[in-house]
């Protein structure tokens, strides 16, 4: 079975229009996360829901621009379960309607787990920009999502390493003996990205989802489930 870099989902507007959603391109994810960060200042569920609705409005710039002009457009076209689906697929933010926790508390926990502070995005983008595919960084950010960025980086680094390994071997140097630390840091970074910021490192069970789940043949969403006790 072919592997997938990320999951997609189809949602339906009130008028029956079908819309496919997937992880946000980096351009929109930046706007989304800047708005979502305001959750930490919300005082109640009403304020949190308004912030989440604005996040979905931003996401709709990518998925269905016709309803991205105002929050009123979102309220007129999408119900709350669909809002939560968009949040989860677009940015890995999961709100459980059945939870005893308030929407505000759940959203604030997600905000702490989905921080940009731990990811040097400029450095990662600069590394793949050298491939020469994009006209500028804006073009890059409009073209790919975070899972796509990580997949491109992973492939590029593997190819670069194999080339360096070959050249080093000619000179009698074994690069594998010195690569453990850097590889662990890279795997930890990928784990955080593919788990939506929830996994602490590559040994965390939450890292086994998305592309990582496909890689190992099992994981979250592939027969493995977990309960968040935090």
Domain end, chosen from 55, 89, 113, is at 113
Give the pLDDT score at 207: 54
The whole-number pLDDT of residue 30 equals 92
Cβ atoms of 5 and 17 closer than 8 Å:
no
- The enclosing H or E element of 155 equals helix 146-170
Q: Give the span between the Cα atoms of 72 and 61, in whole angstroms.
A: 14
Tell me, what's the pLDDT at 39?
86
- Considering the domain architecture, whether residues 13 and 93 belong to the same structural domain is answered as yes
**Cβ-contact 148, 131 below 8 angstroms:** no
What is the pLDDT, as a whole number, of residue 198?
62
**Domain, as residue range, for 13:** 9-113
Tally of CB atoms within 10 A around 214? 19
Q: What is the pTM of this model?
A: 0.70
Return the pLDDT at 216.
47
Domain count, the chain: 2
Q: Looking at residue 79, what is its pLDDT? A: 94
pLDDT attached to residue 16: 96
The residue among 69, 91, 113 that closes a domain is 113
**Res 26: pLDDT:** 95
Residue 210 lies in a domain: yes
**210 conformational bin, left if phi > 0, alpha if psi -120 to 50, beta if neither:** left
Q: Are residues 32 and 105 in the same domain?
A: yes
Per-residue pLDDT for the chain (230 aa), expressed as one digit of tens each?
456 788 899 999 999 999 999 999 999 999 999 999 898 888 888 898 999 999 999 999 999 999 999 999 999 999 999 999 999 999 988 888 777 788 777 777 776 555 556 778 889 999 999 999 999 999 999 999 999 998 999 888 888 877 777 766 676 656 566 555 556 666 666 666 666 656 666 555 555 555 555 554 444 444 444 445 44
Per-residue model confidence (pLDDT) at position 218 = 43
Residue 135 lies in a domain: yes
The confidence score (pLDDT) of residue 184 equals 65
Co-location of 13 and 109 in the same domain? yes
- Measure the CA–CA gap between 13 and 82, rounded to whole angstroms: 9
Sign of CA dihedral 111, 114, 120, 121: negative
């Amino acid at each position: 079975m072919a592997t997938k870099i990320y999951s997609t989902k189809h949602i339906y507007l009130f008028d029956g229009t079908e819309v496919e959603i997937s992880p946000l391109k980096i351009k929109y994810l930046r706007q989304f996360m800047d708005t979502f960060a305001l959750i930490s200042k919300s005082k109640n569920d009403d304020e949190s829901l308004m912030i989440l609705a604005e996040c979905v409005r931003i996401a709709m710039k990518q998925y269905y621009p016709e309803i991205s002009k105002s929050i009123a457009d979102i309220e007129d076209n999408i119900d709350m379960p669909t809002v939560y689906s968009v949040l989860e697929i677009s940015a890995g933010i999961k709100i459980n309607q059945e939870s005893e926790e308030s929407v505000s508390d759940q959203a604030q926990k997600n905000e702490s787990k989905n921080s940009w502070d731990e990811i040097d995005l400029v450095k990662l983008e600069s590394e793949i920009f050298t491939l020469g595919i994009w006209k500028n960084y804006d073009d890059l950010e409009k073209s790919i999502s975070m899972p796509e960025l990580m997949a491109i980086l992973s492939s590029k680094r593997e190819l670069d390493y194999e080339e360096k390994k070959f050249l080093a071997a000619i000179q009698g140097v074994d690069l594998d003996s010195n690569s453990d630390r850097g590889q662990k840091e890279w795997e930890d970074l990928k784990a955080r990205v593919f788990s939506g910021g929830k996994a602490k490192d590559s040994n965390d069970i939450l890292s086994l989802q998305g592309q990582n789940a496909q890689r190992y043949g099992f994981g979250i969403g592939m027969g493995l489930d977990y309960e968040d006790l935090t």
